[in-house]
Structure 1
């Protein structure tokens, strides 16, 4: 199965997230000022829509800019697609109403070869064979961003946070764009089309309100939440204590005080289930692989990562695209000749 991804990351040198967020609120303030002028001078004594439509238009413009930042500028690229093996500490099922429409499914993993006790100092986690994935990155520090030093932010620097993307924020952006277009059309009709324009503008206002109710409802029942089943329908539930191999984009999430993530997860497979956090990393995880030394951890990650990459190549460029498989009745009747591609 193909993973879903609605976000993209930017290179550290191109990151302007803080500026974009500042402009978002500045634009909202300027829009409110413009709305006041329109209400006071454009149509004195006019409909209450004259007062509310410009304000809503300004707020929706600000919201759209913020959502664009969330999807396309918030995440900072660290090193492309990476693989990691780790022990699942916990997971979060969407919807989580505290995340304002973000319906990604998340897991946190202790990286193989490192500590599995969250109380240990962060440096011990960074010194593990895969510790660079959660450690502070010079490229992030050089552009003036920071990493968490306490609480849950610090915990995210000891475990790798992995996200299977849902469509919640993308859907919200679609809703905001559509609603903005309706509000602008309503304002134009109200200002230029007389009594008939007022009637149509009122209808559009009601339509925008109904769209808003639909968006609120999606918080409680999201359309396409993130799920590990996006990459494998046969995976089943991922539980605390499962040993997993994950592959995805390695990024820094600037929305928080700061930590590294795998976002979005491209692939995830459960290697073993029900391990104990107090036990040492297993010396046998199958196929002659183990996690009991740093070298064996790196060898296991390479083996599994190569397996995932080969599976992806087979799915996207393999037999499915072979002309010999292009048949409907039976390959002996309406199949094509096999073509060998060097």
Structure 2
């Protein structure tokens, strides 16, 4: 059965969905209060308070990013919210990597009745093909045609999702991160504490060649670097575990005859799902989540 963790939201003029371009600023904006307390506490010789601040702020930041990803990234389309489409699968379904920040499995389809785009297509060919698809008066117009709102659309030269319908079966990555934000905070704080202790010891050992003052300076610098490295390593470990816990699977949404086998490149399929504008990529329309898919036999 298809899974759904995200919820699209209704766009209002001037609003901007959560996007890749805003990710670092969003994280920094949420993390700075606790990070400031942690640094000041460390400088003031209160490492316990520093670790507590790291724990609390890590959990809060993970929750904030998860909420933005789940509830303020996908914009509900103003027309048919649950359309169906028929087309040909362009490439085998793929699960993104951790660097893409989700574990959805996805594929794209070339909508009928459009012919294949040549592999050697020029940039202008791709733009012309996009115009043909989005003004066809049928599927392409309804599903991929730009809407008259203040949201940007990607250049079809760089993003084939402008002329192919992108379909995603949701994985649980950000829902898991949200559910276990406290655990993530504890892990990051624990990693920072262990890293700080190891870094301080190493720094003192190196700086000790220059006497007690050298040891103190080395311990301070080593503690800061060790805390940052240990916290980052622990956070990466938690994210990796969450990423691999329950990835998306397009077969979850398969309502067709199972003996047809897995979905693959070249299959003709009927798909059904939530029609949204994906603001994280600025932007295109897609079915997210994919709720049903059926292979059409030859």
Q: Which has the higher contact order (CA 8 A, sep 6+)?
A: 2
Residue 292 of structure 2 is aligned with which of 235, 252, 267? Answer: 267
Cα distance between partner residues in 1 of 2:186 and 2:55: 11
Cα distance between partner residues in 2 of 1:93 and 1:166: 12
Shift of 1:151: 3.6
Aligned partner of residue 108 in structure 1, secondary structure: strand
| Aligned 1:132-211 pairs, distance under 5 A | 132=141, 133-138=143-148, 142=149, 144-153=150-159, 155-180=160-185
Runs of 4+ in structure 1 deviating by more than 6 angstroms, as ranges, are 181-184, 209-212
Question: Is residue 139 of structure 2 the alignment partner of residue 130 of structure 1?
Answer: yes
| Aligned 1:6-85 pairs, distance under 5 A | 6-13=5-12, 15-18=15-18, 24-40=27-43, 44-46=44-46, 48-78=47-77, 79=79, 80-85=81-86
Q: CA RMSD in A?
A: 3.3
> Equivalent residue for 1:242?
267
Cα distance between partner residues in 1 of 2:88 and 2:265: 8
Cα distance between partner residues in 2 of 1:97 and 1:62: 18
> Equivalent residue for 2:282?
257
- Relative distance call for 1:97 and 1:215 in structure 2 (3 A) is closer
- Computing the radius of gyration from Cα coordinates, the structure with the larger value is 1
- Relative distance call for 1:214 and 1:146 in structure 2 (3 A) is closer
TM-score normalised to the size of structure 2?
0.70
Cα distance between partner residues in 2 of 1:12 and 1:81: 17
Shift of 1:32: 1.8
After superposition, give the CA deviation of every residue in 1:215-251 in whole Å (9 maximum; x if it has no partner).
42444xx222211221238252111111100000000
- Relative distance call for 1:4 and 1:30 in structure 2 (3 A) is same
1:64–1:177 CA contact under 8 A, matched in 2: no
**Tell me, which stretches of 5 or more residues in structure 1 are unaligned?**
185-205, 274-342
Aligned partner of residue 273 in structure 2, secondary structure: strand
> Equivalent residue for 2:214?
none
2:16–2:151 CA contact under 8 A, matched in 1: no
- Relative distance call for 1:97 and 1:151 in structure 2 (3 A) is farther
Cα distance between partner residues in 2 of 1:148 and 1:123: 13
Shift of 1:56: 4.6
After superposition, give the CA deviation of every residue in 1:183-236 in whole Å (9 maximum; x if it has no partner).
89xxxxxxxxxxxxxxxxxxxxx9xx98974542444xx222211221238252
> Equivalent residue for 1:112?
112
1:248–1:264 CA contact under 8 A, matched in 2: yes
Shift of 1:24: 4.3
> Equivalent residue for 2:88?
87
1:7–1:72 CA contact under 8 A, matched in 2: yes
TM-score normalised to the size of structure 1?
0.61
